[in-house]
Structure 1
Amino acid sequence: MNIVETAIPGPLIIEPRIFGDDRGFFYESWNADSFQAAGLNLNFVQDNHSKSARGVLRGLHFQNPNPQGKLVRVVAGRVWDVAVDIRQSSPHFGKWVGVELSAANKRMFWVPEGFAHGFVALEDGTEFLYKCTAPYDAAAEHSLMWNDPAVGIEWPLEGIEPQLSGKDAQAKSLNEIEAFA
């Protein structure tokens, strides 16, 4: 696999080795030994799968306490996936990185603990998978505003009206969230 560093230390784009022929393709989306050899010693405890229509924007979510690291990928459709550094001690606090993930490009995105995470579905029927390093904890879940001007995420929303959950519509700004130390 090929690991691509992002503009912020921590989040990584992971490009798996694809073995394909006229019958289809095969790749390992997770192999503990391979990831450990690449410096990612991860212990996943929960897998999640969501399906979204074009324009569904999920996030920007994080848990504090009980933070989750997430290894995310798309198996149908495509998304614009974003991680925002919400570690107050980080020189990159409030900065974001984004990557297009799709069934076609088969890229994965590692979002470590200390980051808010979200995505917008760019196609109908988009299916999004993610492995988490900690279980979901409703009492610890928080949302950062997807359109907070202090963060300034450049979402590819041309012709798309974002569809938010009630929870995400009530998300807080960067200066209001329970950020990490």
Structure 2
Amino acid sequence: MEIERLAIPEVCLLRPRVFGDERGFFLESWNRRTFARMGLDLDFVQDNHSRSQRGVLRGLHYQLQQSQGKLVRVVEGEVFDVAVDLRRSSPTFGRWVGAMLSASNHQMLWVPPGFAHGFYVLSANAQFLYKTTDYYLPSAERCLLWNDPDLGIDWPIPAGESPLLAAKDAAGLPLSACDLFP
């Protein structure tokens, strides 16, 4: 497993070792000891799986209480995945990082607690898997506005197109109005 610390060093791009031949491939996506040796001593409590069509944008979601760290990956298709630092005390507060995750590149993104998370689907369909470090708590869920100009996220949305959004994502709040982490 290789780890790459991104422009926000707490967010990591992970590249598992893939063993492949004419029959297919094998990879280890999670191993507590391996991750701990890389400085990611994590305890996951929940696995989630979503499927979305081209043009769907999910996010930017976070939980104020029971803040969730997320280990995310794509097993069908391709997405542009984004994490936004919502920790007021952080030197990278309000900044974002993004990565292309796909079934073919096998990369994973570690999004720590204190970050908003979202993705945009680039392929016909995408299946997205993620492990969380805390349980889903609907009353604590918040949504940061995906296109807040103060964030300046460079979503790869084709010119003239609009993303397909859930009502809660369309009603997300700008960073200036969001509940934030200390």
TM-score tier, shorter chain, comes to over 0.9
Distance 1:27 1:54 in 2: 26
Shift of 1:16: 0.2
Residues 14-163 of structure 1: matches in 2 within 5 Å? 14-159=14-159, 160-163=161-164
Q: Secondary structure at the match of 1:167?
A: helix
Shift of 1:91: 1.2
Shift of 1:161: 2.3
Deviations 1:8-65 (A, max 9, x none): 1210000000011111100001111111111110000000000000000000000001
Distance 1:26 1:171 in 2: 39
Q: Secondary structure at the match of 1:82?
A: strand
Residues 162-181 of structure 1: matches in 2 within 5 Å? 162-181=163-182
Identity of aligned residues (%): 56
Distance 2:38 2:95 in 1: 25
Shift of 1:93: 0.8
Structure 1 stretches of 4+ moved >2 Å: none
Distance 2:74 2:162 in 1: 21
Cα root mean square deviation, aligned: 0.7
Gaps of at least 5 residues in structure 1 are none
Q: Secondary structure at the match of 2:124?
A: coil
Deviations 1:67-122 (A, max 9, x none): 00000000000000000000001111110000000000000000000100000011
For 1:41, give the aligned amino acid.
D
Distance 1:137 1:99 in 2: 27
Gaps of at least 5 residues in structure 2 are none
Q: What TM-score, normalized by structure 2, do the two folds share?
A: 0.98
Q: Secondary structure at the match of 1:175?
A: helix
For 1:132, give the aligned amino acid.
T
For 2:167, give the aligned amino acid.
G
Distance 1:85 1:20 in 2: 36
